[in-house]
Amino acid sequence: MNEQLIGIDVGTSGLKALVMDASGIVAGTTTARYDVLRPQPGWTEQPPQCWWDACGQALRTLQDGGCLRPDAVKGIGLTGQMHGSVFLDAAGEVVRPAIMWNDQRTAAECALIEDKIGLARLVELTGNRALTGFTAPKAVWLRRNEPDNFRRTRHLLLPKDYLRLRLTGEYATDVSDASGTLLFDVARRRWSEEVARELEIPLNWLPAAAESTEVTSVLSEEAAMALGLRPGVPVVGGAGDQAAGGVGSGAVEPGIVTSSVGTSGVIFAATPRPVIDPQARLHSFCHASPGLWHLMGVMLSAGGSFQWLADTLRPIAKDAAMERILGELALESSVGSGGLLFLPYLAGERTPHADPRARGAFVGLRSEHGLAEMARSVMEGVTFGLRDSLELMREMGVEAREVRAIGGGAKNPLWRQIQADVFHLPVASLAADEGPAFGAALLAAVGAGFYDSVPQACRATVRIDSVVEPRRESAALYESLYGRYRELYPLLRDTFHALDDLASQA
């Protein structure tokens, strides 16, 4: 095919641009890096200009390499880090650096929101409870702590939608990304007037929310000239990174569950109707596929736990390939890591405990245990944590017949086998695991008319590379270990909190 589609992913540490044809064959990808600002402990910010600069750099790299042919581009899809807050004035100028998804400054605002609206009513309206990562608490924080900036603000955008503004001049978002703001009525796929009113956030700050495949605008002449593209290219609504990743893995039909192991870990499943957990242990969002919703369980330190172990050992081993070495060592350990369990709560936890003060732990250490057991135990502990989310979904009636593994963890055969054994499900890897950027390009393909629907596009383009089946004996042992794993957090919760108090006094 001669036509090309672009997917752009505004990530936490870099912007990824992908070019593919309508059959899903990827012509090229590139990533332009940028930094995260940490002005205070627990704060994370980025100047939105860095996303625009990275977009130009990435698209020029693809053009220079011959992957991107400007005259062939038929659509652009956007995705990116969710929940971030971009505050703009009446002229569309940035008021202050964007507050990111992993910023932790809003604990007091989250408590205020749940107290003012009531937790049950908030969950009923938005499908979620107030978490520090979400957008609404950041806007409340701005009003309480930077009143001058709050008074200047006239627009509130998510990161990928700031890029849309620079590409098209239009203020818009999509329903999946809007679902992560805590200002969106997920069941009705529209902004919640009640929540906005209660939190004193002007409804006219919020952009129109389109379906993910809907063409929201076209590339402006100014942006086209800056990027070396032709003006008038359609730009679709796009999606938050997790919903776009779900599209890119084909998780748009019942029974297909996505397991993503990056720095964080996510279990993702599509639902034909809004399914809301009254206890808000799972996130309930609109799917990027129109007419669908999705449930999502999030653990904060999945691949991040393995990275922590590698980083801890790297200065001792003086080897930059510690992740590879640990992966090889883990193969030397048996199923169950010799009775060693790892709790992956290094950065607190979201699902199922919603406890920012949870902490990590190795339990069952003996003198016989070495790095091999520790490395495998981290993989197993992370997978047990992902199963927590899977079990919650099953309780809520979600069918799971196949898991599609994506992210860094999917590249490790042992980790895929551990997932199959722990989940009691076949685990597939994808031929093209390009992450959310691939899903964004697929959404553009639907918006440009190459496909009638997102499921049709996924069936035509998402290809399975290999499948590992659960092993009966290993699955039985893991079932017993998982029961012990689930007992540990309730037993250790008070100790975790006491240790956190002591650490804050040190």
3-state secondary structure of 147: helix
Cis peptide before 278 (omega within 30 of 0): no
**CB-based contact 423:390 (threshold 8 Å):** yes
User: What is the per-residue burial (b if ≥16 Cβ within 10 Å, else e) of 38-63?
Assistant: eeeeebbbbebebbbebbbbbbbbbb
Give the span between the Cα atoms of 151 and 74, in whole angstroms: 40
Under 8 Å between Cβ of 140 and 156: no
- Paired tokens of 278: 């009254």
Report which secondary-structure segment, H or E, holds 173.
Answer: strand 172-174
Assigned token pair, 431 = 């031929």
Token pair listed for 328:
């090889």
| Angle formed by the axes of helices 454-461 and 241-248, nearest 10° | 50
Which structure tokens are listed for 339?
Answer: 């009775």
Please report how the helices 413-423 and 371-395 are oriented relative to each other, as an axis angle in degrees rounded to 10: 40
Backbone angles phi, psi at 81, to 5 degrees: -55, 135
Q: Is 342 left (phi over 0), alpha (psi -120 to 50) or beta?
A: beta
| 64 DSSP assignment | H
| CA nearest neighbour of 84 among 56, 49, 111, 48 | 48
Q: How far apart are the C-alpha atoms of 191 and 56, rounded to whole Å?
A: 32
Say which residues have a Cβ less than 8 Å from residue 5's Cβ, sequence separation at least 6. 19, 20, 21, 22, 73, 74, 75, 76, 77, 441, 442, 444, 445, 448, 450
Q: Known catalytic residue: 241?
A: yes
Distance, in Å, from the CA atom of 97 to the CA atom of 89, rounded to the nearest integer, reads 13
Give 116's contacts (C-beta < 8 A, 6+ positions apart): 198, 199
Which candidate, 286, 243, 292, 291, places its Cα nearest to that of 268? 243
Q: What is the DSSP string of 181-241?
A: GT-EETTTTEE-HHHHHHTT--GGGSPEEE-TTSEEEE--HHHHHHHT--TT-EEE--EEH
Of 9, 174, 241, 433, catalytic: 241
CA distance 494 to 146: 35
Token pair 């035509």: residue = 460
Which residues are identified as catalytic? Answer: 241
